[in-house]
Chains A and B, each alone.
Chain A
């Protein structure tokens, strides 16, 4: 049951269980009020059932009136108590109880309210002051809930906006290679029909590079969905991370093609065996390296590996355009690219870094970025040498 609804039952708001027998002498009851400064009221209870209410105010004022003590001191408390106090069920609602309390005679308005269970047996006393405070709290809570709901709605709208933006990006990115494939295939068909080679080799190579691009895009989109759905498996094994770095460097060299970019790998002399998910680590490195290769037109890309304590640190540095300070915060967000879709220089879905960050988190590591606009960028990934098994199970 929802906490706020539960709080509305007065049974949860009982502030005292103080009671006396209706036969107790007035003077003894008065002694209790003198001795216990916080005691505001006593329920008169006989064999578990309430039959009256003695409040501090009314008992004291009766006794301090002329000869009050002498007149009533030895009488049973029932004589001067309120014999018809307000009695409510524990499952009654706060609003309704307060409403009934406030409809009492003016002089009785602040008198405590007796609470009984379904069999009419005494459960405790409600302080009207506390009920009023509680009503205020409930109101504040409902306002806070409303505010929370509004915040949530705003957040949902932001996500929806981002998703439609993403779709605008991604439809173009997905269609573009498919359209190139269709065009190339059509041309090859035409030249085959005429029995001519028609630059077949060049077209085939464009065809396969378009297909490879398309596959990379689809893989990214599927990976992110998998991560978001919490269905990405982590499979740990021992592997040589320095060798992996070399392997990724090779692929990056192919990506760089003819660009005047020098690629170097600086791994420590000792082999770095780590216990983690090899495929994920390769994907992290590949993502960072292909970004570096995409954005660096000349200069240098450096891959490095250091280890210390319980971690290894892999870094990918480039002499690309760098990232503006103001763009840093949205660098890792999914569905965002730093450039406007229609006018950007570099293709892509804007998912690469989002996926990379998620993968690093999945492997218990962290990723940081340092960049000077106009000079270059360094991404560093710190991973635990030993991925604890419970992190795998938590996925």
Chain B
């Protein structure tokens, strides 16, 4: 792992989205770690200590928004910003952000939005 690059963890059960998201973010200069299931996410988070977590919402057995509230419930993990990244309706994403304590959302397909949000959260304020 490169020491200067910011690290983003992407959790999504859909391999297509995992692949495209990884490449888009890598091209934007981030280090990307992907995880294809909601399970063992906190383990992965501890292991890779990401600077940002992108969570898909619709996933088998545990939805991304619930996963977010689990992560936010860990004293050691709750400082890591979590962004919901989903093909769901924007209104429903907004509700999920409010309800489950996420730090924001990006609609899948909004690539500029994805880059913008990542850079907004990960660029240190001077």
Whether A168 contacts B89 in the complex (CB less than 8 A), given A175-B109, A183-B109, A186-B111, comes out as: yes
CA–CA, A180 and B14, complex, Å: 10
A343 interface residue (CB < 8 Å to B): yes
A339 to chain B, nearest CB (A): 8
Q: How far is the CB of A178 from chain B (nearest CB, A)?
A: 6
- Binding site secondary structure of chain A: helix
Q: Which residue of B lies closest to A340 (CB)?
A: B63
- Contact of A242 with B by CB under 8 A: no
Whether B87 and A342, one on each chain, are in contact in the complex, defined by CB atoms closer than 8 angstroms, is no
Residues of A close to B111: CB separation below 8 A: 182-183, 186
Whether the Cβ atoms of B63 and A342 lie closer than 8 Å is yes
The residues of A that contact B107 with a CB separation of less than 8 Å are: 179
Which chain B residues (1-33) contact chain A, with CB distance < 8 Å?
14, 16-17, 19-21, 23-24, 27
CA distance A270 to B27 in the complex (A): 60
Q: For the complex, is A190 an interface residue (Cβ under 8 Å from B)?
A: yes
Known A-B contacts A180-B17, A186-B111, A344-B58; A171 and B24 likewise in contact (beta carbons under 8 Å): no
Complex contacts, A183 vs chain B, CB 8 Å? 17, 20-21, 24, 108-109, 111
Report A187 CB to chain B, min CB distance, Å. Answer: 5
Interface contact A180-B16, CB-CB below 8 Å: yes
Please tell me if the beta carbons of B17 and A341 are within 8 angstroms of each other in the complex.
Answer: no
How many positions in chain B have a CB within 8 Å of any CB in the partner chain? 26
Q: Cβ of A345 < 8 Å from any Cβ of B?
A: yes
State the Cβ distance, A116 to closest chain B Cβ, in Å: 68
Neighbouring B residues of A209 by C-beta, 8 Å? 16
Q: In the docked arrangement, what's the CA distance between A210 and B15, Å?
A: 12
Known: A341-B58, A345-B60. A172 touches B24 (CB 8 A): no
Q: Can you pick out 19 interface pairs between chain A and chain B where the beta carbons lie within 8 Å of each other?
A: A171-B87, A172-B86, A175-B87, A175-B88, A175-B109, A176-B87, A179-B17, A179-B108, A180-B17, A184-B16, A186-B20, A186-B24, A186-B111, A187-B20, A187-B23, A341-B58, A342-B58, A342-B63, A344-B58
Which of A's residues lie within 8 Å of B, judged by CB? Answer: 168, 171-172, 175-176, 178-180, 182-184, 186-187, 190, 206, 209-210, 341-345
